[in-house]
Amino acid sequence: MVTDLHVVPARCGRAVRLAKGQAIQIINTHGQQVVDTWCFNADDMSEFMSMEHLHATLQGIFPAKGDGLTTNRRRPILILEEDSSPGRHDTVIAACDVHRYAALGCTQYHDNCTDNLKTALGQINLRAAACPAPLNLWMNIPVGPDGKITWGEPLCKPGDHVTLRAVFDCIVVMSTCPQDMIPINGAACTPTEVHYRLLT
């Protein structure tokens, strides 16, 4: 069964409960938006999808279709079941926060993914002890042979989507990254909304 299409507005976060076996399809509506994505055990917020642990599981840094996305207890919480995009998603960069924007020269409050996580969880009366490193869907961070990274633009096209299926009851949180000071959300540096739907 496919449910209605929902929106994550530009620069905002949303938290969604998934039952075991249920899936979420996240759609890059305009094709250039990075979506910071987290996942927590619905019964124990201290267990969460962990990029550091995922690297050990994958023996790499780029998850691909069919991969299990590992928690800090080294078991899959989500399966990357489908990916219509070129499959370039970042797992090495921390969520943006007020400190990141201050370092870029911003002198006033700037929307950020760390606060979006906190707000989105708060809307369903949950709280995380910290902000885990997110799975940055569509964030294109090429890594050179010398280990240096560059800030690329997303490689996907409008309407590309990923499907994440819950291995057990969990909470998925998405943030449409508000980064508008470097071109990780495309050359226009204009964050946009994305959409999602639930699949059973």
Binding residues (CB under 5 A) for Zn ion: these are 96, 113, 177
Query: Please, which residue, 58 or 98, has the CB nearer to Zn ion?
Result: 98
Which amino acid is it at 90? Answer: D
Minimum separation from the CB atom of position 177 to Zn ion (A): 3
- Per DSSP (E only), the strands in 32-169 are 35-41, 44-48, 68-70, 76-83, 135-137, 160-166
Least separation in angstroms between CB 119 and Zn ion: 13
Looking at beta carbons only, is 23 or 174 nearer to Zn ion? Answer: 174
CB of 175 to Zn ion, least distance (A): 6
Least spacing, CB of residue 193 vs Zn ion, in Å:
15
* CA separation for the pair 70, 72 (Å, rounded): 7
CA R_g for the chain? 16
Helices (H) and strands (E) in the chain, counts: 3, 11
Beta bridge partner(s), residue 172: 16, 39
Nearer of residues 36 and 47 to Zn ion, judged by Cβ? 36
Q: Which is nearer to Zn ion, 42 or 141 (CB)?
A: 141
